[in-house]
Amino acid sequence: MEMESTISITYVQSKKVINQLMQVTENKYYTLTLLEWGISTHDQTFSILEVLDISYRSFSNQGGILYLHTTKGLFPFHIKESPEPFIEKCQEWLEQKNRG
């Protein structure tokens, strides 16, 4: 399977921490990248054979959750930008995979 270029989308992982008797939210930004052989995150990789589907649920003014459906389970990614280009490319990629 040939893919012209990779495509990425930024996702956020939020963590609540106690800092000097105050609770604060720490946000870390990472990249979800679609590659020819699979999908990569900052700490995981999913081969083309493991990815089943991708979906998105939006929130009002706060982005939404991009769901990666895999043979390892469902993985949510909080995103703040439009996922349409990433989802379209993933769906093309999945269609090519399913054609063999």
* 70 in a structural domain: yes
The CATH number of the domain holding residue 82 is: 2.30.29.30
* 54 in a structural domain: yes
Any idea which residue has 């930008």 for tokens?
Answer: 81
* 1 in a structural domain: no
Q: How many domains does the chain have?
A: 1
* 58 in a structural domain: yes
Tokens of 22: 């105050």
* 17 in a structural domain: yes
Which tens digits make up the pLDDT trace of 65-79? Answer: 999 999 999 999 999
* 49 in a structural domain: yes
Give the list of residues 6+ apart from residue 63 with CB closer than 8 angstroms, or none: 78, 79, 80, 81
Q: Where are the alpha helices (DSSP H) in 10-83?
A: none
- Structure pTM? 0.85
| Amino acid letter, residue 4 | E
Containing domain of residue 26, as a range?
7-99
* 26 in a structural domain: yes
**Identity of the highest mean pLDDT range in 1-10, 49-58, 90-99:** 49-58
